Amino acid sequence: MAFALDPALPKDLLSHLVVVDISPAVGPISPEFRNYIHAMHEINAAKVQTKKQAEEILKKIEPVSGVTMSNSRFLDLQSFSYQDPSVRAFLLHNLVAPSKGEPLQFRIPLSIIENGIDGIGDFPHTPGKEKWDGPTLFVKGAKSKYINRRNTPVMEQYFPNMRLEVLDAGHWVHAEKPQEFVDLVSKFVSQKQSNDIYDRQ
């Protein structure tokens, strides 16, 4: 998104944009980020020998909320948390043994992640100042809160030629619904290409 909004971007360099379950709005970081970091510290301290042991520690911070899905594209919740094996798998991919027989540790120093986490909520542009008029597809995970009613107007300010599609997934849309995601993006790109051909005739 930031690349598309860069004033120095050559006009014809970007033909279309796909954004997956994130918005350009500036806001505070969800508590779940720090909860995961706390759990990762706990894993390091526990000197676990297997990823299964580490996963059990991560599960402790993932309470299941009772949520009934409706036809709405958004969840009317202030906070939403659910057990997500894809997030655990992503985090545990970085858990390794420094050498054979040693306890598993995260390969990236957790202090680096902890010190940089506040920057995740920043965005380097200002609504109303920059915009990109090209065709833009936002793909939202229905079980995720990163795109919601509060930040959709900001998305429309930056990307007036946008459309929003929702898949029944959490934040890791492409991992949870790979075929549906590919189908959406392929259709979006092919429609754009067809329109370009028609416009040139």
Regarding beta strands 105-106 and 95-96, do their DSSP bridges make them parallel or antiparallel, or are they unpaired?
Answer: antiparallel
Mean pLDDT on 180-191: 95
Report the pLDDT averaged over residues 46-52: 96
Q: What percent of the chain has pLDDT above 70?
A: 84
Structural domains for the chain: 15-69+76-200 (3.40.50.1820)
**Integer Cα distance of 168 and 14 in angstroms:** 29
pLDDT of the residue at 112: 93
Residue with the bigger pLDDT between 156 and 86: it is 156
Q: Taking residues 126-138, what's their average pLDDT?
A: 94
Rounded average pLDDT over 159-185: 94
Residue whose structure tokens are 């939202």: 140
Give the pLDDT confidence score for residue 135 in this predicted structure.
Answer: 96
Average pLDDT over all residues of the chain: 85
**Distance of CA 195 to CAs 99, 182, 199, 200, 201, Å?**
56, 20, 6, 9, 10
Q: What is the pLDDT of residues 55-111, one digit of tens each?
A: 999 998 876 544 434 444 544 433 444 566 778 888 999 999 999 889 999 999 999
129/124 Cα distance (integer angstroms): 11
Which pLDDT belongs to residue 77?
39
pLDDT, position 193: 54
Instruction: Judge contact between 165 and 139, C-beta under 8 A.
Output: yes
DSSP code, position 177: S
Give the pLDDT of residue 44. Answer: 96
CA distance 3 to 14: 9
Of 126, 121, 140, 120, whose CA–CA distance to 5 is shortest?
126
Instruction: Provide mean pLDDT across the span 28-48.
Output: 90
Question: How is residue 61 written in tokens?
Answer: 């911070």
- Contact between 46 and 57 under an 8 Å Cβ cutoff? The reply is yes
